[in-house]
Structure 1
């Protein structure tokens, strides 16, 4: 009879690991609940059960710290940060899941999990069990024996490490695992606040143990030590022995191993699925069913081997048998996708291609993914296209390098891409659409972009395919760097990768994306955002692709002259700064700058410092001091001009496409959680417009020719109009309806003067409050932005809220809604999840409350301009206008207008933008024309 195995899980170690593994991409459900810690723990639990099929299993929890250790050292674990709220909330839910799964929970007040696990492991060993301690915590290494092992989960998707005696000996350079206690005692532990021996690190601890065997052995041989180390060890004997005691796992806790209690038994299927349903764990629900209630079909599926083959005329096997071929890359070390088997096939010319096309055109939903020679879709060439329409199966069509032959091959696929009745699925389809446009292929029919879908489902996460696959399919795809290498001169082109590996990689991407679509469709429905996806984000994808392909003309000669002017101005500022400082130094070095300003010039009594102890010369710090010190204003001007020159004036000419002669920015739909677009390469949305020099950069953007003019259409005060409408604040609505200057109108009311007597300063202060309210401006913030004192600023804000009481009520209602639901939403139902809205930390909670007010307003403005863009683009195409939409920058659209079409286009743009969405206040659009963007704006 084989030896029975017991698995003991350290709950908190696995919970924290799961939480922090997803810290940059938290798993937040439609209720706004952060489920990262729960999902991470359950994934680890299921992974152990799937891999090991244990006979016995239990989970140990810490409860109220270690009474024994705190009695001998009250500072034990005193340095630890407060447990994140998401973990505090997760623990009772995890315990509820374990109870529903009939998995025993080991927990005792005042006893830590490692002591519980240590005690039980040693008891089980005596009863003939082989015990595996499931934890990433290295402290458990001291317990390892012939029958007790550490079972260490590695990074998600990368398997596990099992530490027996040889592994512990190698890792800690000890003869016996018990010596790990001495190692930990000597080293100390900053996380647990175990002091250790001062001056003793990893190498020294290992050296001492090799020489003296133990902590006590070291103290018996102090005379062999030299210098300061001898003094430190001699002076800290008691501290060393205390540290060893704190690091020792207790093996006689008041807990008893009962084999019968720890036996794996059948879970309460209904209860577990009910909990998972509440948490929206669809993927884990599938896994749970497959592990504990496998059907015959599931059992059979796990036996099927995966293969990659090249289909020739006589072996188009995917439509018949699943024969295994000679794949050169089985990738067996990685987890398989979803239902464990997959079959990927390269399509050869001739009969195989004919059969493939016949089947392709019969499908209703197909995922496709282009593989190219580079990341820039306007210059990249096709290397291959992968297709998948069934989980675990897919095809790869390799493309020849010869352009004419490649065009001939794409023509065979044209009927698929232009089929209106086939849904095209992809991850970041805008890239594929732009690549195919170079081959004169238009992708028609309905689209489903998994990146966009996930962006709407969980806007605060990352949306790249690897993250989505790990999160939703529990599968880590092969990395592109495994095939072509990391960036640098040795990186290969995808064309240089062997075709078998091309097939494996490309079809895997298509297969994963196809499966992600199956996950995201019900989630879009559940969150009531399917129409936002289908009617706004997906149509916008096509609009942006056309805008990016079009690009905008750039006056390089103007930028050259502007660069020379900036150079002179920067040198003048540099000279003035040196003169005021009475020395030369590196102005761009925060360290040198801080020393000059705060040590040598002593501009302030108590200068602010960074975490590293340097003087802070951050923008906000210097801006606060600028009005009192000319040198600081000069430094800010120097920084601004230097950044403008390097980021835009000198960089833009290098970003002109050689083939088109234009700049082609890349608009990203999935970056800003509010729904706003962002632009990249170059970023046209961050060109400074508050300074004269910054505005000058816009002069460089010009029409394509003399037959065209630039037109800029800008929503006027759209965010204020939205907040007026959403809050139903009649006084603001009335001002907008009557065409009043909203800032003068606000000033007249808050300063209690006739509108005709409002001063420029009063209007300016009212404007600052109008826009500041949206972003939760405080009296401190308002006084910094105006000439008002803090008390005057507070009085102005208080008066503002009294003047507009419904606005204040609306803001409170938004925060209350967020607290109850975990999210807020725009006029189109776009959600912004606010996981910190109920945080106990006032600063963190305050930021979430400001977002609760701001996100619906900024997000609604983003929604409205997207509707306008879609409608304008449609009209321009339908009527075959030569005019093109080129840029979107926040609330502004820029067009290259064919002069003979000007009057029609002006009317079309104004009408579509002002009627994009009906609010209780009119939307107002300002139009401007010019021979460059600055002039038009």
Structure 2
């Protein structure tokens, strides 16, 4: 009898969870059977997908899935991916990849043809001199339409010389005879290309990068509707494999990588800082660029056949051109303040180091080092004018050296174990066996590490990613499985005022820094998904959820809650969102574990629907190793299949936290996308986002317009997209810079500022120079203002300044 591996589906399109479901069923069957047999490909005669039998192309050998000592999907990722892509490989088209260089006239003719008869889509790729558009030029531009069979490329820079040499690499190349385009030709090309892009959809792989370069250098004047094959691969395969174009094409089309020659030329460039695509000979780079668009087109045709559309994927497509625009704009940095802050941290670090060097044990170690250096460098010391000072400097303990820190901790102070990371130092600090001097060293070392990290990585590191007075962030829209954005900007300590205070307005005395934040978004989402009456009532009444949680824990009325009790409620709320343990809560609140458990019991007793929903999620994840957010984001959680209890526990926590994070991320992105067109023809601009918050560079003439339209857009989500059973609220922070911003609420022409007295006064003083205003009421921490008119009454203009040019033609979802 013929053995078939059935892939059951209730939809017409291919989905990853279909395969995960089959995988899970086979795994459970194997683990529950007496023989614990593992299915192999040879055990099946064919695979049936959507009622269609596929018998050709099955691997002759190999297990279907490894389950005997299975660690989630980690050990069988390659095999699982191979099996997953089987229908793709069977359905692949017999294409022949081709790449062709065009002359200037041929390029113009081709683009004119696209303009006359617009294609369904245009695949675009650029090769550049670097990673940041403001620091280089485009060297090659390549493109092809849905009807083309060839990847076309046109060089904007000609390279016929290559001086690097490296053994074992083939660095031969043909001379490129075609000359570089003239300035006039480049201008004509930009005009025509921008017109073509306005009339068609654009496809690319990691398209945000290409849009940034094309927009910055004038090839795009209006952001188009886009499709990104990297995003499609992310939603199809999650993060089971790298999403690079070459890796995907290699697996799906069984083709050899076409970038080996380019890689050879890059590897030969030494030092590594010299490595740049702009130095690769044009004949090599152009061929590579043409094949890039060819395979991108093949991926797009394949993915759009098998991928089920979702709200989350649509949001990513809409967000790509917006983030390309805001990354080019950058965030304004106060460089004078940056230098001042760097100097202040340098002094703090110096004092901490002096404190460490003054410890008796450290002094003895450095004296020993000095003696050893003096004995071994006796002859060399004669060459120095002051040999003792040189040896003394070399004998000092280097606090950045892992080896030297380990020597102090485990040899000088005799502590057990190994390692110098923060968790290890914290354990030594809390151990009763640690001597007072060792504790003083550890405390000072942790202080040094913290200040040195902030100074070198963030305060000084801003300059490395800066252009003029602007920090150029790079937001990764596909950096996490939950949908939360990631970037170096996100890793900055968000509570560190010194770092946040470096970001201010590009408009100087006529601008403000504005940050908005969804209030307790993840708690609102948990209340929505669980339909918990208590949480819904709290948001409907616009009450403080942290105070409400404290009231539930301490059995008090919400009006009787103190500031300290509210802080406890806030800790509990974060613990619920992130599924923290009682031990973690006890450490945060400095109480016993039993007290923490009692608090959680009191809370969950008052929110039975939330508790039941969370328990259901933990149970459901044991039946299928993935979750799906309300916005259609599919998130695999393979750790539930692990044989280790800790992995299973982590997976159960993720089944709750990932849903609220994923849905929350899509809400923030959706609101950001819908608000973006409302800044058209305004000088104010969107400049960044961190988790549930969004940042703006605000021109004073847009103050009330932005505050009112933001509230309307972010709080009133369309019901056809997000049918929430409770309202959402946003909080505003406004100030001269991010770190010194005050909480602000706006009603008609009135502003209520709350915050530190100094920050309020600084904000009011700037407003006095810009507005006719009256202070209605004022205290140390609040101020109510009424603004009657602008002081500068000149007509508001259409902005044509290239430094603040807006590309806001992108439509709403």
Work out whether the TM-score is over 0.5: yes
Alpha-carbon distance in 2 for matches of 1:701, 1:863: 26
| Match in the other structure for 1:650 | 460
Asked whether the 8 Å contact 1:627–1:633 carries over to 2, the reply is: no
**2:677 is equivalent to residue 894 of structure 1:** no
Determine the structure 1 residue equivalent to 2:89: 284
Query: d(CA) in 2 for partners of 1:350 and 1:589?
Result: 60
2:404 alignment counterpart: 592
* Whole-Å separation in 2 of the counterparts to 1:667 and 1:583: 44
Q: Which has the larger displacement, 468-477 or 824-833?
A: 468-477
Alignment map for 1:414-813 (pairs within 5 Å): 414-419=194-199, 422-440=200-218, 441-442=220-221, 444-461=223-240, 462-479=242-259, 480-485=262-267, 488-489=270-271, 494-525=277-308, 528-529=309-310, 531-534=311-314, 536-580=315-359, 582-583=361-362, 585-602=397-414, 607=416, 609=417, 615-626=418-429, 629-658=439-468, 661-679=469-487, 683-690=488-495, 694-704=496-506, 705-813=508-616
Contact 2:129–2:278 under 8 Å retained in 1: yes
| Aligned pairs for 1:292-371 within 5 A | 339=94, 341-350=96-105, 353-354=108-109, 357-358=112-113, 362=117, 363-371=119-127
Distance 1:432 1:468 in 2: 19
* Secondary structure of the structure 1 residue equivalent to 2:475: strand
User: Per-residue deviation at 1:341?
Assistant: 2.1
Spell out, residue by residue over 1:140-196, the C-alpha distance to the aligned partner (whole angstroms, 9 max, x if none): xxxxxxxxxxxxxxxx9xxxxxxxxxxxxxxxxxxxxxxxxxxxxxxxxxxxxxxxx
The CA distance in 2 between the partners of 1:885 and 1:664, in whole Å, is: 13
**1:912-937: per-residue Cα shift (whole Å, max 9, x none)?**
11123552222121112111111226
Corresponding residue number in structure 2 for 1:144 = none
Any conservation in 1 of the 2:89–2:253 contact (CA below 8 Å)? no
Measure how far apart 1:366 and its partner are. Answer: 2.3
- Partner secondary structure for residue 16 of structure 2: coil
Provide closer, same or farther for how the CA distance between residues 281 and 900 of structure 1 changes in structure 2, counting only shifts above 3 A: same
2:465·2:473 contact (CA, 8 Å) conserved in 1?
no
1:672-729 deviation per Cα after TM superposition (whole angstroms, max 9, x unaligned) = 11101112xxx22222134xxx211111111112221111111111111111221111
Q: CA RMSD in A?
A: 3.4
> How far apart in 2 are the matches of 1:361 and 1:752?
72
Distance (whole Å) between structure 2 residues aligned to residue 97 and residue 727 of structure 1: 43
> How far apart are 1:581 and its partner, in Å?
6.3
Structure 2: how far apart are the matches of 1:586 and 1:734? 57
The structural deviation recorded for 1:743 is 2.1
Q: How does 1:254-265 map to 2 (within 5 A)?
A: none
Following superposition of structure 1 onto structure 2, how do residues 774-923 of structure 1 map, counting pairs within 5 Å?
774-877=577-680, 880-916=681-717, 917-923=722-728
Q: How far 1:634 sits from its partner (Å)?
A: 2.6
Aligned-pair distance for 1:383? 1.9
Q: Which has the higher contact order (CA 8 A, sep 6+)?
A: 2
Aligned-pair CA distance for 1:827: 2.5
TM-superposed deviation, 1:401: 6.1
The alpha carbon displacement at 1:494 in A equals 4.1
SS in 2 for 1:573: helix
Q: Distance in 2 between matches of 1:408 and 1:442?
A: 14
Distance 1:355 1:926, change over 3 A: closer
**Partner Cα separation in structure 1 for residue 316 and residue 598 of structure 2:** 43
1:936 equivalent in structure 2: 741
Q: Distance in 2 between matches of 1:105 and 1:554?
A: 60
SS at structure 2 position matched to 1:406: helix
Is the 8 Å Cα contact of residues 35 and 279 (structure 1) preserved in structure 2? no
CA contact (8 A) 1:276 1:284 kept: no
Counterparts of 1:798 and 1:524 in 2: how far apart (Å)? Answer: 43
Q: Give, in angstroms, the shift of residue 653 of structure 1.
A: 2.6
Contact 1:433 1:442 in 2 (8 A): no
Q: Give the C-alpha shift of residue 808 in structure 1.
A: 1.9
Aligned to 2:789: none
Q: Which residue of 1 aligns with 2:41?
A: 94
In 2, Cα distance between equivalents of 1:563 and 1:89: 62
C-alpha distance in 1 between matches for 2:334 and 2:82: 58
Post-superposition shift, 1:473?
2.0
Q: Per the alignment, do residues 466 and 486 of structure 1 end up closer, same or farther by CA in structure 2, a change over 3 Å counting? A: farther
Structure 2 CA distance for partners of 1:578 and 1:499, relative to 1, 3 Å? closer
Q: Distance in 2 between matches of 1:638 and 1:537?
A: 40
How far 1:458 moved relative to its partner? 2.6
Give the Cα separation in 2 of the matches to 1:557 and 1:627: 41
- Mapped to 1, the partners of 2:39 and 2:663 lie a distance apart of 37
Shift of 1:513: 0.4
Cα distance in 1 for partners of 2:147, 2:37 equals 36
Equivalent runs, 1:28-107 vs 2, <5 Å: 29-31=16-18, 33=20, 91-97=38-44
Measure the CA separation in 2 of the matches of 1:276 and 1:890. Answer: 31
- Report deviation, 1:516: 0.6
Contact 2:235 2:634 in 1 (8 A): yes
Cα distance in 2 for residues equivalent to 1:104 and 1:474: 14
TM-score, normalized by length of structure 2? 0.71
Greater displacement, 796-805 / 699-708: 796-805
Conserved 8 A contact 1:543-1:869: no
Q: Taking structure 1 as reference, are residues 516 and 481 closer, same or farther at Cα in structure 2, changes over 3 Å only?
A: same
Structure 1 runs not aligned, ≥5 long: 1-26, 38-82, 108-155, 157-274, 288-337, 610-614
2:134 to 332, 353, 378: 378
Report the TM-score, using the length of structure 1 for normalisation.
0.62
Distance 1:646 1:499, change over 3 A: closer
Measured at CA, do residues 695 and 637 of structure 1 come closer, stay the same or move farther in structure 2, by a change above 3 Å? same
| Distance change (3 Å), C-alpha of 1:495 and 1:894 | closer
Rounded to whole Å, the distance in 2 between the matches of 1:650 and 1:276 is 42
Answer whether contact 2:40 2:61 (CA < 8 A) is retained: no
Q: Which moved more, 1:862-871 or 1:88-97?
A: 88-97
Moved more, 507-516 or 459-468: 459-468
What is the aligned length? 624
3-state SS, counterpart of residue 770 of structure 1: helix
* Rg larger in structure: 1
Deviations 1:353-375 (A, max 9, x none): 42564267532222111122222
Q: Deviation at 1:93?
A: 4.6
Inter-CA distance 488–279: structure 2 relative to 1 (3 Å threshold): closer
> Taking structure 1 as reference, are residues 655 and 897 closer, same or farther at Cα in structure 2, changes over 3 Å only?
same
Moved more, 735-744 or 578-587: 578-587
1:344 is displaced (CA, Å) by 2.1
Q: CA deviation at 1:377?
A: 2.3
1:669–1:678 contact (8 Å) kept in structure 2: yes
